[in-house]
Amino acid sequence: MSHSVFYENITTCEECDFVNDIPPLQSGERFRCRHCGYVLVSAHKHVAARIMSAGISSLLMLALAMSFPFLGFSTNGIDRSVTLFDTLSVLLSQGYLVLGAIISLALFVFPLVYLLSVLFLVWSFQHQHVLRFAQRYCLRWITVIQPWLMVDVFLVGILVALVKMSSLADISFELSFWAFCGYVLLLLKTVTLVDKRWFWNQVAGKSADHSVIEATAKQQGLIGCHFCGATLLGDAKHCDRCGHSVYSRRPKSINTTIALLIASLVMYIPANIFPIMQTTFLGSTEPSTIMGGVLLLWSLGSYPIALIILIASVVIPLAKVLALSWLCWQSYFPSHRQTEQKIKLYRITEFVGRWSMIDVFVVAILTSVVQMGNFMSILPGPAVLSFTSVIVLTMLAAMTFDPKLLWDKDNESSISSSAGGKE
């Protein structure tokens, strides 16, 4: 099978449950769902070679980013430089094990597992006799891990932290910082090249053939696998292609989403009441809440950074809760507003959720850089874990919500084919 061409396949859209017959796609083409316009398949040019080059280069940049000083800190004749690994080791040495584990997963564990799995898969396509059983496990890992890759958010957090410290000390970018920037860009490039349906076609071949009509899988007595896109008979419990459990609609989707949203609101209260950071200067310790940090940046004239923190740490978590709550309501009592607009809101909500981690990363970075005893030091406050819980819970709420429920009311009436197909 060529690595630059997709062959005919029957797949079910994971957002609207519409069954699509994918025609042959040449390199550089994409196929959108004929019903909702969601991109189902992207046929990248020279995809295997590009993934290998971007993935290996990303690993190389990560190795360089961990090998040299990362940031320099200088104030009142006191100089200090930190490595990328110090971001983790300082937190662990200070007893912040949970926050250290979060940083470790975000910067090292998840990206490494993702990159190594992708590289192994592309390599195994040329060596089909080698460890075929491991291909499915690697594909599952990259599908689960991808939403939790946050190295780009961490990079923005570094810039925000430096703005916060600019009035107190001179900050310099060391060699590893530029290597880390390369690592972030190359990792993001690798992610954009990974198409799960292309990978599953390479690993397990195309899904079973079914007659295709202009309707959803549920209306045809079929089930679409949300994990690999295969279309199965309606009585299937597990996907024949990827082995994952399948369901027509996510079980207890609304109840689970609402429960997670309520839990996030409960954690949102201590996250904003208690200090997220504690700064010691000349023996005097001053706590700082999220809003306190925003007001401080605003008073210093850092208006863009203050707005970024305000939007990411205050507005987005609340907006996600309100948006998902409204979407849950619409699943039962739909308004006259078009379903396409509701799906756009859902996609935006799912995309922006992880950017709230900026404030958590800012605290971790400042903790690793500013450690000078009673003269000047910064430590995480009790609100860090509460705020992290808010982010994780709202992200899980978006993942557990089934957007197919929004289309079900429309699909009760006849569905007419809308614009879609090759691009």
- The predicted structure's pLDDT at residue 410: 64
For the record, the structure tokens of 366 come out as 């400042």
Class of domain 249-406: mainly alpha
Q: Are 75 and 122 in contact (CB under 8 A)?
A: no
The span from the CA of 121 to the CA of 117, in Å, is 6
The top-scoring range by mean pLDDT among 238-247, 378-387, 407-416 is 378-387
Residue of 198 and 9 predicted with greater confidence? 198
Residue of 173 and 208 predicted with greater confidence? 173
Judge whether residue 136 has pLDDT over 90: no
Residue 43 CA, chain-centre distance (Å), reads 22
Q: Are 51 and 67 in contact (CB under 8 A)?
A: no
For the record, the structure tokens of 48 come out as 């295997």
The span from the CA of 121 to the CA of 127, in Å, is 10
**CB atoms near residue 236 (< 10 Å):** 16
The closest of 51, 52, 31 to 42, measured between CA atoms, is 31
- The predicted structure's pLDDT at residue 226: 79
Confidence band of 263 (pLDDT split at 50, 70, 90)? very high
The top-scoring range by mean pLDDT among 42-46, 125-129, 210-214 is 42-46
- The predicted structure's pLDDT at residue 413: 41
- For 85-103, the pLDDT digits (tens) are 887 888 888 778 888 888 8
- The predicted structure's pLDDT at residue 322: 93
- For 278-332, the pLDDT digits (tens) are 777 666 677 778 888 788 778 767 777 788 888 888 888 899 999 999 999 888 8
Residue of 258 and 21 predicted with greater confidence? 258
For the record, the structure tokens of 126 come out as 């040329």
Residue of 34 and 77 predicted with greater confidence? 34
The span from the CA of 247 to the CA of 373, in Å, is 56
What are the domain boundaries of the chain? 1-44+195-248, 49-193, 249-406
Residue of 6 and 82 predicted with greater confidence? 82
Largest alpha-carbon pair distance within the chain? 75
- The predicted structure's pLDDT at residue 109: 92
| pTM for this prediction | 0.84
Share above pLDDT 70 across residues of the chain, in percent, rounded to a whole number: 86
Judge whether residue 1 has pLDDT over 60: no
- For 146-200, the pLDDT digits (tens) are 989 999 999 988 888 887 777 666 777 888 899 999 999 999 999 999 888 888 8
Mean pLDDT of 209-232: 76
Q: What is the CATH number of domain 49-193?
A: 1.20.140
The span from the CA of 62 to the CA of 154, in Å, is 14
SS (H, E, C) the chain: CCCCCECCEEEECCCCCEEEEECCECCCCEEECCCCCCEEEECCCCHHHHHHHHHHHHHHHHHHHCCCCCEEEEECCEEEEECCCHHHHHHHHCCCHHHHHHHHHHHHHHHHHHHHHHHHHHHHHCCCCCCHHHHHHHHHHHHHHHHHCCHHHHHHHHHHHHHHHCCCCEEEECHHHHHHHHHHHHHHHHHHHCCHHHHHHHHHCCCCCCCCCCCECHHHCEEECCCCCCEEECCCCECCCCCCECCCCCCCHHHHHHHHHHHHHHHHHHHHHCCCEEEEECCEEEEECHHHHHHHHHHCCCHHHHHHHHHHHHHHHHHHHHHHHHHHHHHHCCCCCCHHHHHHHHHHHHHHHHHHHHHHHHHHHHHHHCEECCCEEEEECCHHHHHHHHHHHHHHHHHHCCCHHHHHHHHCCCCCCCCCEEC
The torsion angle over the Cα atoms of residues 253, 98, 117 and 41, rounded to 10 degrees, is 30
Mean pLDDT of 384-401: 92
**CB neighbour list of residue 184: distance below 8 Å, 6 or more residues apart:** 151, 152, 154, 155
- The predicted structure's pLDDT at residue 130: 64
Residue 170 CA: distances (Å) to CA of 163, 179, 375: 10, 21, 16
Judge whether residue 64 has pLDDT over 90: yes
For the record, the structure tokens of 149 come out as 């890759």
Judge whether residue 264 has pLDDT over 90: yes
For the record, the structure tokens of 270 come out as 């201590």
**CB neighbour list of residue 417: distance below 8 Å, 6 or more residues apart:** 34, 35, 214
